[in-house]
Amino acid sequence: MANPLSNTYRLIKAGITLTYYGVTLFPKHIPTPLPVKLLRFLLLPFSLLGMIFRAPFGYQSPSERLVTALTKLGPTYIKLGQFLATRSDIIGPELARDLSTLQDRLPPFPQDEAIAEIEKQLGASIDELFIEFGPPIAAASIAQVHKAVILDKGIEKDVAVKVLRPGIEKRFFQDQDSFRFAANLVETFSKAARRMRPVEVVKTLDRSVTIELDLRLEASAISELSENTANDEKFRTPDVHWSHTTGRVLTTEWIDGTPISNIKALEQQGHNLTDLGTHVLQSFLRHAMRDGFFHADMHPGNLFVDKAGNLVAIDCGIMGRMKPKEQKFLARILHGFVTGDYLDAAQAHVDAGYVPDHHSVQEFAQGLRAIGEPIADKAAFEISMARFLGQLLEYTAVYDMAARPELILLQKNMVIAEGVARSLNPELNLWKASEPVVKEWLQDQLGPVAKMKKMAAGLQALDQFMDEIPSHLTVLEKNMSGLSRLAGKVQDMDEERLTQLVEGKQQRSLSNQIALWLIALSLSAIAFKQLF
């Protein structure tokens, strides 16, 4: 249960650190709530101390000081900063840009603690579990990774072993409790801040971190992404070793590949960087539009190129999902901008329910044209997906569009994918690279094969309903029989008894009988609708 005193204490400690480095997490475009003003006043001495004693940091930019402060505050604040960096719609572009440089890197925890945790989770000694177990090779706020060797069906295999930091769940729980406490205070005292929906932001972060803290869910995500992309050319994910995986330990295939950021090595190995850049962007779009399930952290550190030239994505702790409506929406807006059909792109927003009814489709199409036309004749290297999507988000305020978290996550990762693709091919044509994927999706959804699948689904639904008709008729017959008997009784009753029946409990029984009869008729109508 939330404890106001302990939460206040933790928030004051965090406030001291932030004040010392001369930063704030509160957006400039929102009036400062009263609790924040009071906290700033109380912490003014620490601000002065910071100005005096942090001489080495005196010449740092505001973004560098912010990153330093959040890193000092620890894992939960690093995650909070990274999450807010994706929400420029809430905190503003300046603060989002400052937070975008925040890296999730921390010193590793001791090897013996990692071994103790693995042995506890897997129920055996480290020597029984692994032929070799090496020191940590990477450490982040939630977990660290070790390289090891296992014996799998008589074959020695290199693996990556990811293990959660000791006590990380308790630390996150306490800090998240403090965030909830602060968010509720801000919403209570600041009407302007309510538009930022701080309570909802904290809930979203809470859900995201909860998933990351269960490594079985990451293993499941890897498995699902692998299944979705099984027939994709030149893309794969590492295999999961389920026998060596629990909620706090994840063991996967070791990827012996070249980091996609090592451009020089990729060139020396003979990889076609132009094709590779296109492949990165198309893979991301294909997973989002076709599967509705995409890697939501495709930064260079999570992408490798193996000896066969496959693009290999690792670290599936953060994944994005899109419902069919969002998949269709993404395909239509991209197709609209690729072909210059701004009216259809605008209609896609309306059909998805993102634009309120009091705005006309033509009016919104005019706004989209204002985004699309200036870049229509530009050279490929001058077109930025980041800027394009940023402008699109700006129009959310102009046309009263509510922010969509799943689309904002998509925007963030499309920008990341663009950055990786452009690092490989600076002259990448984003529209040209996107067009085949969009056409493929449209063909799958609207082509002859798709229509046949829909027809088959309708026939299957009708067939299932036909099988259930006897049982529906039995229920209907019983209800009609009961209704008939009830009608006969009503005819035999005197006026006084009839009035009691109408006003009493039995009236509800009659209503229920009629309702069941109407439900049976409705089911018949639904079956015909599915067919036609």
The second-level CATH assignment, the architecture, of 110-165+214-254 is 2-Layer Sandwich (3.30)
Q: What is the pTM of this model?
A: 0.71
Per-residue pLDDT, 368: 82
Report the pLDDT value the prediction gives residue 305, as an integer from 0 to 100: 96
Q: Of the listed 297, 463, 492, 494, which one is catalytic?
A: 297
Check pLDDT > 70 for residue 438: yes
Banded pLDDT at 443 (limits 50, 70, 90): confident
Which one has a higher pLDDT value, 410 or 143?
A: 143
Average of pLDDT values for 438-450?
69
518-532, pLDDT tens digit by residue?
444 444 444 444 444
- Residue 256: CA count within 13 A, CB half-sphere: 6
Predicted local confidence at residue 433, as pLDDT? 82
Band the pLDDT of 489: cuts 50, 70, 90.
low
**pLDDT score of 204 more than 70:** yes
Longest pairwise C-alpha distance within the chain: 100
Domain boundaries, the chain: 4-104+173-210, 110-165+214-254, 257-446, 451-531
pLDDT above 80: residue 477: no
Strand partners, 144: 139, 163
Q: How many helices (H) and strands (E) does the chain have?
A: 23, 10
297 as an active site residue: the answer is yes
Q: Across residues 409-424, what is the average pLDDT?
A: 79
Residue 378's alpha-carbon distances to 257, 429, 520, in angstroms, are 36, 10, 60
Between 131 and 443, where is the model more confident? 131
Task: Please compute the mean of the pLDDT values over residues 313-325 and round it to a whole number.
Answer: 87
pLDDT tier, 385 (very low <50, low <70, confident <90, very high otherwise): low
Percent of the chain with pLDDT over 70: 67
The enclosing H or E element of 250 equals strand 249-253
Instruction: Give the single-character DSSP code of 141.
Output: S
What pLDDT is attached to residue 505?
47
pLDDT for res 436: 86
| Inter-residue contact 240 to 219 (CB < 8 Å) | yes
Average pLDDT in the chain: 77
State the pLDDT at residue 76.
Answer: 87
Does 325 or 380 have the greater pLDDT score?
A: 325
Q: Determine the pLDDT at residue 340.
A: 81
Model confidence at 511, in pLDDT bands (50, 70, 90)? Answer: very low
* pLDDT beyond 70 at 446: no
Contact between residue 529 and residue 465 where contact means Cβ atoms under 8 Å apart: no
